Structure 1
Amino acid sequence: MNTTQLECFMAVANFLNFSRAAEQLRLTQPAVTHQIRTLEDELGTKLFRRTTKEVTLTQAGFQFIHDARSILSISQRAKKRLERPSAQDIVEFPIGCHSFAMLSSFPQVLGDLVGQFPGLRPQLRVVPFPHLYRLLEDEEVEAVVGYHLQEGKRSTVVYQEVARVPLVCICARESPLAGRTALRLEDLAGERLILNDPMRCPPVLARFQGELIQERSPAELCFCGGIDEALCLARAGLGVALSPHLLPPAGDGLAYLPLEGVSPVSFGVFHRARKSSPHGKVFLRLMREAFSSPAPGPDLPIDSADVP
């Protein structure tokens, strides 16, 4: 079944006359007749009753009008959509990050980016740390937003910092800790800690968590899969979560308290060396502006041993 058959069917159904249908379609009458016959053969039923005096629709023909009209309408919409210049200019921009919580930190950046590249379509990939940077090396994503890994030997992936963010304690606003402006490590004594899976959180956080749990009993610990689950448990009042601090959504019911005496964490964008696209470069600039980072420093390689 093709659109020519359907157009011929609709024309004949409209005029109930093969000659007039052929004139409208700018085809010969035998050509229209052939299209109708092949359509009837495919459907296994007659659509018209034809005599020397008149042409009428069969019951099957009446029933088929709606289907034929719908198919032609879908076909015409698809054709018009693909004929538009903007459809031909669509460019995908796959970006990876390790948590849904991190997505809340750069919607304005994506909006500004698409404002400069109207045909750009960002595609967000949320993938755990063990796989995230491998996607970048395999060129399945163009950029990865995340925390700096251990610097080491040069690889095909480079990193540019856009901000240095503090490590914070996250608790429900109803928690007694929520009234503080900052916390020290000793303030966490007696508090239940909500711990991220070390395979699904930033390496720097995994190392810090490992240091905190050494002298704690199981009753003082609450394990979860990742930062998204940790935020949910913290909001429920089940303990204190730890995370590098980005831009928390307003009104999320949580208090974010800087942890004193702990070095800030480098946050930035990973991209492939010497393969950054024009929109990738603008994305990096917009991210830096959004986090008020100073002028860009040199690209930093990441240790390929840190990329599983």
Structure 2
Amino acid sequence: MELQQLRYVVAVAETNSFTRAAERCLVVQSALSHQVARLEQELGTRLFERTSRRVRLTPAGAAFLPAARQCLEAAERAAAEVAAAVGEVRGRLAVGLIPTVAAVDIPGALRAFRGRYPQVRIGLRVGPSDELTEQVREGTVDVAFLGLPATARPQGVVARELGRDPLVAVVAPGHPLAGEPVVELGRLAAEVFVDLPAGTAGRLQSDQAFAAAGLRREVAFEVTTADSLMARLVGEGLAVALLPSRYAPRLAGVTTVAVADAPERVEYAVWSRDGRTPAATAFLTAVGIDPEAGEARPAPPQEPPSV
């Protein structure tokens, strides 16, 4: 069994096509098909069902695929460790982040990291904090940047707190609250909200705050990310939102209002307890985190949110 054969199997499984897999692997299709057939012969079973219309994994292939990926990742990590021993950083770096991350300048850090370590292949994954934490535990993401309610903390990973940020109300410029210097949750409870899906960490901090105050609110719109769509719904006067004060000013066409009894969002950097790749260690250093000491340089002072 050869690593190249494993690469071919993974490529076919991910593309559902021998032709596309060959293109990805930069090899002629006949050579790729031959190597997969040799591996199947060695294993004594077929890994793929082949028809004129489709290619898909057999039950044996589905069982084989996770181990094949693990072998390839182990081989890649071994090569990266050897390179690091002689002063090189290479391999892959998978970075996960929530869309509203504000404690770290991710684009700036990636620019500096890429300039210093051009041989590292970088992949970015954007998603909710709970999914990113699971991906770090599974090893598919090396470093992730999360946002959680003050009542929660990442589990099963190494976590370093980066900062705390109160939420602010985000309203349309013509909204009656737009001219207020500060509001309270009790006044906001009468508004219609746009928020993240129920059960997500980004939604939980607001739900907990209203519940703790004995208040109920209406979330009429749910969006998967706090981005331009949320801003458009707010800007059109359809809803208001609660967002971290350091992120909200990035949205165009809306006004932010301080909330006297606002909940806090806590940002974390997390990585696996099972160890870090040289690339992950180098990237943590690039964003100002000493992974050995567990310290992060404080974020630069921020201007208070506009009101």
TM-score (structure 2 length as normaliser): 0.54
Q: Using the alignment, how far apart are the partners of 1:261 and 1:249 within structure 2?
A: 20
CA distance change for structure 1 residues 212 and 242 in 2, over 3 Å: closer, same or farther? farther
* Structure 2: gaps of 5 or more residues: 1-87, 290-294, 302-307
* Structure 1: gaps of 5 or more residues: 1-87, 294-308
1:222 aligns with 2:221: yes
Q: Which residue of 1 aligns with 2:159?
A: 159
Most deviating of 152-161 and 272-281: 152-161
Q: Using the alignment, how far apart are the partners of 1:251 and 1:189 within structure 2?
A: 22
Q: CA deviation at 1:161?
A: 1.1
Q: Secondary structure at the match of 1:134?
A: helix
Q: Secondary structure at the match of 2:237?
A: coil
Aligned-pair identity (%): 19
Q: Would you say the 8 A contact 2:171–2:240 is kept in 1?
A: yes
Q: Would you say the 8 A contact 2:168–2:256 is kept in 1?
A: yes
Q: Would you say the 8 A contact 1:163–1:292 is kept in 2?
A: no
Q: Which residue of 1 aligns with 2:179?
A: 179
Q: Aligned letter for 1:285?
A: G
Q: Which residue of 1 aligns with 2:92?
A: 92
CA distance change for structure 1 residues 284 and 183 in 2, over 3 Å: closer, same or farther? same
Q: Would you say the 8 A contact 1:105–1:248 is kept in 2?
A: no
Q: Would you say the 8 A contact 2:145–2:270 is kept in 1?
A: yes
Q: Secondary structure at the match of 2:252?
A: coil
The one of 265, 269, 280 aligned to 2:283:
280
TM-score (structure 1 length as normaliser): 0.54
Q: Aligned letter for 1:281?
A: L
Give the alignment of 1:1-308 within 5 angstroms: 91-99=91-99, 106-148=106-148, 156-202=156-202, 204-205=204-205, 207-208=207-208, 211=211, 216=216, 221-228=220-227, 229-248=229-248, 250=250, 252-273=252-273, 275-276=275-276, 277=278, 278-285=281-288, 288-289=296-297, 291-292=299-300
Q: CA deviation at 1:180?
A: 3.0
Q: Secondary structure at the match of 2:139?
A: coil
Q: Using the alignment, how far apart are the partners of 1:201 and 1:191 within structure 2?
A: 21
Aligned length: 205
Q: Using the alignment, how far apart are the partners of 2:181 and 2:257 within structure 1?
A: 6
Q: Aligned letter for 1:292?
A: P
Q: CA deviation at 1:196?
A: 2.0
CA distance change for structure 1 residues 216 and 152 in 2, over 3 Å: closer, same or farther? closer
More helix by share: 1
Q: CA deviation at 1:288?
A: 4.7
Q: What is the aligned-residue RMSD (CA, Å)? A: 3.8
Q: Secondary structure at the match of 2:108?
A: helix
Question: Which structure ranks higher in relative contact order (CA pairs < 8 Å, sequence separation ≥ 6)?
Answer: 1
CA distance change for structure 1 residues 200 and 233 in 2, over 3 Å: closer, same or farther? farther
